[in-house]
Amino acid sequence: MDKKYYFISGLPRSGNTILSSILNQNPDITATGKSFLPEIFYDLKKIQNDDIVYSQCPNEKGINGIYQNIFHNFFNYTNTKYIIDRGEWITPFNYSILKQYCPNDVKIILLVRDILDIIKSFLQICKDNPNYVYNKMAKGTSLDEITDVIMGKDSYMDCALKGIKWLKDNNLLKDCLIIDYDNLVKDTPTQIKKIYEYLNIPTFNHRYKNLKQMTVYNDDVLGAPIHTIRENKIEKKDNDIILTKNIINSYNHLNVWENQLWKWFIKMYIQ
């Protein structure tokens, strides 16, 4: 079976698990959990660039053969026509890997959500789950201290925001399908239809109740059930979190897919 490979990327807490659960109803689709496939490519490149044994006896044809077959071998166990891999594919390195080695045209579903809503969602998890990893990483227990970890340098949020900015700066956002979390939960069928049209695959009659949990995640590692979805209703959860003025002022304008405040973004966030 010739498979097609597509991708979900973007911001956390933006409907990744709900969307994957819905798409997996289609017997022709496998929507994955968070993938470590980008790390495989990165580690291979590291061997190629830094490993002394490889430097002594390089084999360009051999390692290129590995690159060319990674997608096929990684998903050889699946029997579906369409693979939708969720990963951090929007960094410059990972995107270049897709352009070089994805067997078909690169199509990325980019999930986004208002940044302050994402912060609230993470802080609610921290409040409800004392053993959550961000609580353990924070220097204190205040909202500001925990938010510093959530939004810190090289965090998931940091990499995702920089990736979205890089896509926009390089005129690549137009090639992605941007799905806003609020639209996804308010009018799910319309957003699902957009995805099918974007991927150019036959539609499927999805259900939006009696959803199945994604069983591929071991959330015990993170100390909180962050990938548990509501099975009988798709709706936006109201989080019992009041953000401080400092958090609002620091991160209120980071919806970088919507605005042109790059000088402000660089001054306030990246540097």
User: 31 in helix, strand or coil?
Assistant: strand
Tell me the pLDDT band of 260, cut-offs 50, 70 and 90: very low
Q: What is the DSSP letter of 108?
A: E
Dihedral sign for Cα 255, 91, 7, 208, please. Answer: negative
Q: According to the CATH classification, is domain 4-270 in 3.40.50?
A: yes
**Res 264: pLDDT:** 45
Residue 158, Cβ neighbours under 10 Å: how many? 15
Percent of the chain past pLDDT 90, that is, above it, reads 91
Q: Which of 6-20, 43-57, 187-201, 255-269 has the lowest mean pLDDT?
A: 255-269
Res. 184: pLDDT tops 90: yes
Tell me the pLDDT band of 266, cut-offs 50, 70 and 90: very low
Q: Please report, for the chain, the start and end positions of each structural domain, with discontinuous segments joined by +.
A: 4-270
Q: 């960094």: which residue's tokens?
A: 91
**Res 227: pLDDT:** 96
Q: Using CA atoms, how far apart are residues 179 and 23, in angstroms rounded to an integer?
A: 14
**Res 258: pLDDT:** 83
DSSP 148-217: HHHTSTTSHHHHHHHHHHHHHHTT-GGGSEEEEHHHHHHSHHHHHHHHHHHHT-------SSSPPP-TT-
- Give the burial class of 32: count Cβ atoms within 10 A of its Cβ; 0-12 exposed, 13-18 middle, 19 or more buried: buried
**Res 263: pLDDT:** 45
Q: What residue ranges in the chain does DSSP mark as E strands?
A: 4-10, 29-34, 82-86, 108-112, 177-180
Query: Residues 5-22: pLDDT tens digits?
Result: 999 999 999 999 999 999
Query: Residues 82-121: pLDDT tens digits?
Result: 999 999 999 999 999 999 999 999 999 999 999 999 999 9
Average pLDDT, the chain: 93
**Res 262: pLDDT:** 43
Res. 151: pLDDT tops 90: yes
The mean per-residue pLDDT over the stretch 158-162 comes to 96
**Res 259: pLDDT:** 59
The mean per-residue pLDDT over the stretch 195-223 comes to 96
**Res 238: pLDDT:** 82
The mean per-residue pLDDT over the stretch 225-230 comes to 94
**Res 256: pLDDT:** 87
The mean per-residue pLDDT over the stretch 245-261 comes to 85
Percent of the chain past pLDDT 70, that is, above it, reads 95
